[in-house]
Structure 1
Amino acid sequence: MLLDEPAVAEPPALPRTPLRLGLVAAAIGLAAVAVHAVTVLQGYFWQDDFVIVQRAAAAAPYDPAYLFQDYNGHLAPGMFLLAWLVTAIAPLSHALAAVPLLVAHAGALLAFWRLLVGCFGARRALLVPFTLFALSPIVLFTTLWWAFAIQMTPLLLAMAATLDCHVRYLRTRRLGYAVGAVLWLLLGLAFYEKAILVPALLFAVTVLLGSGPVAAFTAHRRLWLAYGLLIVLYAVVYLSATSSPPAPPQTEVPDTAEYVRRALLDTFLPGLFGGPWPASATGMTWPEPAMAVRIAVAVAALALLVGGIVVSRKRAALAWLALGGYLAVDLTLVALNRLPQFGVLIGNDPRFLADAVPVAVLMGAFAFLPPAGRPGRVRGDAPVTALTAMVALSAVFSVFSLAPAVRFEEGRAYVAAVRGALAADPDLPVYDARVPEHMMVAWGFGQEALLSRFTPLLAVGARFDEPAESVYLVDGAGTPKKVEHLRWTVDGEPGPVKDCGYAVTGEVVGVPLATPVRGKHVLRIGYYTADAGELAVTAAGVEQLVRVEAGVHRIDLVVSGSFSRVDLRRTTPGSPVCAVTVQVGQPWVG
């Protein structure tokens, strides 16, 4: 046999959920998915979302270099495979991209309810921890951002399903549940490296269900071996596919302490209890709560800690120890990797503790509820309905109050405007600039924030950085506007020919600039000629051939690099081209 387990004559039957209790749990789960759907479908892509979609559109789903790419230290082949699928069907369709995440959320809720019933039996008191997880503002708010949700939501599903299969295996010794647990763990690892913490959680649950630590290991050693081999294989792949980031500067102890305080008292505990209060956000960060709120959540948490120990003694102590260990790992990872980069404000970002929500809820249930089949009586079933309703109302209010901060409606409007404008005139000569900062910050994405990276996703054409009588610049609202003016300009030296400037014939004519320039600019040449033809323009060692027309005109060229002169040469027979003005500058539309 694959698993070396002690024989059991008649494995205990798994607890069944009474119809009425199951309907109430289903109603809570459906309400949570509905709240998630309403809020997420009002949003749009933002920041990393666009990079993920761009890479998906340019890749093949079977390419290991695409699936196992190092994305800011993350190894997430499942994420990139899912991104490729939704992009292949409908690029930049936020509604379609949200559908598999809503399905994963529903699956996570179903698996978590099954887990609670498997651990504690079917009892009314389970509605409280289930509601805390299902309607958690920490989970529902953070997964409104697609780039985070595409990692976290599958992780939550895999975590709950792995635990559920593991507990069912402990209850029945059926091999299928053990295999299911390993496969669900593999799925979690495919989306988020934090799934590497799940085996430790499985061990804690095994102990809390009644086994001592030694017995929990020896009785299921082959199952632990299977989990361990999977983690080792993943670690090998992860270390070979990702590069070590440069060591961040050392964070001072006061900063670390302040970060931990913010993360726990300002973010995690208020969110865990249905907050924050007040329920507002700036981007992905929550505001600092009032001192009264901090004191209240700290007192509530302390009361739960002490109350659990009074009710369950050793089991509660083990549960709180497991939760403390999980939170310590989460906080340490952020302190090492994000705190030096963003400072203590990262403590007000709930994303980094979203995976700890189901852990906290499950450990809290172990602290107060006896496992199924164990002696013990649950007190206080009467207030369950009121407590469940109070938690649900607070959480729903918080989620709907927080959601407007992450709708990213400006990005949706920008993309729609660009799609409409370029579809109407696909030959428009467009200066390839970065999209607005509210969509992608320039310091974080560089060339991936250029507008030209978006047009293949929009199924429209455009002439980027091509010579034209006048180029167009797309403004912050997504509207192309003719570039009438340049700013931060550098002029060419006046030409030697009166009323002509530089008479350009078949010989190279050099136009020196007042000062050298560097970077990407628009080179604007004002000219007149009696004969149409072609002109060769060389700047920064790159030659561009442009059409010149008879009469008085101008030509705009996009140039990049470092140069201090512009060379002109007529390449077709005809009268000289008089280059009256030569100017280099940045396009500006006001």
Structure 2
Amino acid sequence: MTTAAMTTARTTAARRVGALALALIMVQLVVRAVLVIWGNFYWDDLILMGRASTYPIPSWDFLGYSHDGHFMPAAFLVAGLTTALAPVQWWLPALTLVVLQAVASLAVWRMIRILAPRAGGWALAALCFYLFVPMTVSAYVWWAAGLNTLPMQAAMAVVVGNAVALVRDRPDPVRSRRLLIGAVAAFVVGLLFFEKSLFILPVAFVAAVLALRSRSSARWDDEADYRSSPLSQAFLRARPLWLILGGVFVVWAAVFLATSTATAGVHSIGQTAHLVWRSINNAIVPSFTGGPWVWERWTPSPPMGFPSVWMIVLGWVVLAAAIAITVRRRRGVALIWFFALLYAVAAQIPVMWNRSSGNTALELAQTMRYLPDTALVLAIALALIAAAPSIGAHTAGPSQPDRRMAVAAAVAGVAFLVSAVTATMSFGQSWRDDPTGDYLRTARASLASMDGKTMFDQPVPLEVLLPVAYPNNMISHVFGRLRERPGFGKVTDELKVLNPEGRLVAGAVSPVRTFEPSRGSCAKPGIDDLTRLPLSGPLIDWQWTVGFSYCADRAGTVELRLEGGDPVEVPVRSGLHAAYVQLDGHGTELRIRPVTPGLRLHTGDGRVGAPVMAEAAP
């Protein structure tokens, strides 16, 4: 075959591989689109929405907030803009997830083609692993987590690809400058979304060193370059890149440590070790077989994977076999596996340390939401292995053993793909079993019917968001950006509340304490100055809701207060009506005083307690 014919054949093969890669990415995006269609907002999503409803989006109070120990201004910015454009509507967050996944998948394929330019089918295998392994699913469908991890994945792919191209291909100055700028920009963007993107720098440097260890994919320009180690070559060939990335790393780490609350709380070394082992044995290892197939959800927790024992055992067998076969057949692979598995373990330690305490359930590690970057690092390892030279390449005999290996790998790849999609769909079914979406849709319509009126604030149901998220679990925060909604205040003449399904129902005040009618009557109101209404018992210092009927001889304003609390002015109307007021304070009496000159009123039986559904009130 002539050189021209060989070139044409290689070009055709590369186009076929590229077309297959794009087809795999499209399949992944279809599967991921189905997942977000099944999904909805969950937990931290509501906290992001609540803060976007409370603070100006461009403010540091919003963008620089340390959310659960994370420093992620760009993620907050996207969440804030999304909330402002389509408040409490899932379609736009879902679209952001699909778009970010498309960007990440394309970046990963570009990286794989740089790492293994002639690997063909083996490069597709590395891509397939990244696209469909269940380790990436849990953090994808959860909007708040996806805003962290998807930009990090895209950034890691860009930085690793550019770094390897710089140190291995020795590009011309113009391309070198583009690769340098692109890598730095991607690193900064990744950090803006997720502080864990700091891991990108060591991953990129190690990948560059490992890529240079293969003599067949390095260019030796002179004898001195030939004798220098891959470590020194990797640094010297891309010294401006490493110095700039190192400077950004140090500055960003300092900012993170100064703003983050990640290390707050009680931690346990023993619990950290248990969580890391559970993450490896019950999450990472079964992923090598495309598992787990079984997911369980204990609302309000996210789904947790429960792989069968046989799947865990098979996962260890697959990993051991892959290591043994590749180490025997390709040069330098042992070190690639070492660093990949080292990352898989080491990357879990700080995360699990921050989550460790005596009360942390080990099932936390089985949610897999901390593993997307591990999946990508393993894909990088597979690409580097695919590019590594064969140990017996110069004495290769008949090609039949290689064809058998290719057929076996193809069968294993199809089995993995089927298993992984099965696990993904199983996760999706578990993920959609959540009351949050239905509650938000119903509540949004209910609040729109109260547009222009006043409601008391109340927490969302426990199944949607627990009180530990206060004040972001209050409806004034979750629904604060809605254009059609009631005002949230401390005084209303019509008490309405949302029931656990989000429907608007009549409200009442629970009778924690009661008080008797005031002196006089509707015909002859007795309150014309400060009056103290004794309660049936003492109140602790809290926010209390007071409900009572009254009749006033004219329209005006009265003032109510509890001991130790600020007074609240309440508008009253002439005639017989009801009023509901929220007061802070404590004590054994309710104080009421007309503010409007000449106003007189009479109050009937009253209650002091909390807003509840009328049908549930005694």
TM beyond 0.5: yes
Q: Who is 1:490 aligned against?
A: 513
Instruction: Report the Cα offset of residue 573 of structure 1.
Output: 6.2
Q: In structure 2, do the counterparts of structure 1 residues 575 and 193 end up closer, same or farther at CA, with 3 Å as the change threshold?
A: closer
Q: Who is 1:9 aligned against?
A: none
Instruction: Report the Cα offset of residue 414 of structure 1.
Output: 2.4
Instruction: Report the Cα offset of residue 288 of structure 1.
Output: 3.0
Q: Deviations over 1:475-520 (max 9, x none)?
A: 1111121124x3352123x4685889x9642221111223222322
Q: Distance in 2 between matches of 1:370 and 1:135?
A: 24
Please give the residue correspondences for 1:217-236 in structure 2 after superposition, counting only pairs within 5 Å.
217-236=235-254
Q: Distance in 1 between matches of 2:157 and 2:255?
A: 24
Q: Who is 1:159 aligned against?
A: 156
Q: Who is 1:238 aligned against?
A: 256
1:423 aligns with 2:448: yes
Q: In structure 2, do the counterparts of structure 1 residues 546 and 374 end up closer, same or farther at CA, with 3 Å as the change threshold?
A: farther
Match of 2:352 among 335, 357, 366: 335
Q: Who is 2:204 aligned against?
A: 202
Decide whether the 8 Å contact of 1:523 with 1:583 is kept in 2. yes
1:93 aligns with 2:117: no
Q: Secondary structure at the residue paired with 2:588?
A: strand
Q: Who is 1:461 aligned against?
A: 485
Please give the residue correspondences for 1:67-466 in structure 2 after superposition, counting only pairs within 5 Å.
67-120=63-116, 121-174=118-171, 175=176, 176-211=178-213, 212-243=230-261, 245-251=263-269, 253=270, 255-282=271-298, 283-312=301-330, 315-340=332-357, 342-367=360-385, 369-370=387-388, 380-407=405-432, 410-443=435-468, 445-466=469-490
Q: Distance in 2 between matches of 1:584 and 1:33?
A: 54
Instruction: Report the Cα offset of residue 387 of structure 1.
Output: 2.4
Q: Deviations over 1:129-165 (max 9, x none)?
A: 2111111222123210000001101111111111112
Q: Deviations over 1:41-94 (max 9, x none)?
A: 332112211222343355556544543332222221221232233234322332
Instruction: Report the Cα offset of residue 390 of structure 1.
Output: 1.6
Q: In structure 2, do the counterparts of structure 1 residues 25 and 374 end up closer, same or farther at CA, with 3 Å as the change threshold?
A: farther
* Matched letter for residue 548 of structure 2: I
Q: Who is 2:35 aligned against?
A: 39
Deviates more, 1:180-189 or 1:552-561: 552-561
Q: Deviations over 1:362-393 (max 9, x none)?
A: 22343465269995786612234322222221
Q: Who is 2:562 aligned against?
A: 539
Q: Who is 2:221 aligned against?
A: none
1:587 aligns with 2:611: yes
Instruction: Report the Cα offset of residue 206 of structure 1.
Output: 1.8
Q: Deviations over 1:308-337 (max 9, x none)?
A: 322235x22211221132123222112310
Q: In structure 2, do the counterparts of structure 1 residues 49 and 473 end up closer, same or farther at CA, with 3 Å as the change threshold?
A: same
Q: Who is 2:581 aligned against?
A: 557
* Matched letter for residue 332 of structure 1: I
Match of 1:24 among 20, 25, 29: 20
* Matched letter for residue 38 of structure 2: Q
Q: Who is 1:3 aligned against?
A: none
* Matched letter for residue 207 of structure 2: V
Decide whether the 8 Å contact of 1:47 with 1:439 is kept in 2. yes
Q: In structure 2, do the counterparts of structure 1 residues 65 and 519 end up closer, same or farther at CA, with 3 Å as the change threshold?
A: closer
Q: Distance in 2 between matches of 1:550 and 1:246?
A: 56
Q: Distance in 1 between matches of 2:392 and 2:57?
A: 49
Q: Calculate the TM-score normalised by the size of structure 1.
A: 0.88
Give the unaligned 5+ runs of structure 1.
Answer: 1-14
Q: Distance in 1 between matches of 2:305 and 2:182?
A: 41
Aligned sequence identity (%): 24
Q: Who is 2:530 aligned against?
A: 508
Q: Who is 1:526 aligned against?
A: 549
Q: Who is 2:216 aligned against?
A: none
Decide whether the 8 Å contact of 1:124 with 1:384 is kept in 2. no
Q: Who is 1:11 aligned against?
A: none
Q: Secondary structure at the residue paired with 2:370?
A: helix
Decide whether the 8 Å contact of 1:131 with 1:391 is kept in 2. no
Instruction: Report the Cα offset of residue 534 of structure 1.
Output: 4.1
When the two chains are superposed, the root-mean-square deviation of aligned CA atoms in Å is: 3.0
* Matched letter for residue 79 of structure 2: A
Q: In structure 2, do the counterparts of structure 1 residues 162 and 529 end up closer, same or farther at CA, with 3 Å as the change threshold?
A: closer
Q: Distance in 2 between matches of 1:375 and 1:206?
A: 23
Q: Distance in 2 between matches of 1:93 and 1:245?
A: 34
Q: In structure 2, do the counterparts of structure 1 residues 177 and 546 end up closer, same or farther at CA, with 3 Å as the change threshold?
A: closer
Deviates more, 1:54-63 or 1:535-544: 54-63
Decide whether the 8 Å contact of 1:101 with 1:154 is kept in 2. no
Instruction: Report the Cα offset of residue 553 of structure 1.
Output: 4.1
Q: Secondary structure at the residue paired with 1:583?
A: strand
Decide whether the 8 Å contact of 1:32 with 1:135 is kept in 2. yes
Q: In structure 2, do the counterparts of structure 1 residues 572 and 407 end up closer, same or farther at CA, with 3 Å as the change threshold?
A: same
Q: In structure 2, do the counterparts of structure 1 residues 552 and 100 end up closer, same or farther at CA, with 3 Å as the change threshold?
A: closer
Decide whether the 8 Å contact of 1:533 with 1:574 is kept in 2. no
Q: Deviations over 1:372-417 (max 9, x none)?
A: 9995786612234322222221111111111133337633332332
Q: Distance in 1 between matches of 2:438 and 2:529?
A: 50
Decide whether the 8 Å contact of 1:284 with 1:350 is kept in 2. no
Q: Deviations over 1:431-466 (max 9, x none)?
A: 2101122322211x1112211123432211314244
Decide whether the 8 Å contact of 1:108 with 1:161 is kept in 2. no
Please give the residue correspondences for 1:468-483 in structure 2 after superposition, counting only pairs within 5 Å.
468-483=492-507
Q: Calculate the TM-score normalised by the size of structure 2.
A: 0.84
* Matched letter for residue 321 of structure 1: F
Q: Distance in 2 between matches of 1:575 and 1:241?
A: 54
Q: Who is 1:8 aligned against?
A: none
Q: Distance in 2 between matches of 1:132 and 1:562?
A: 61
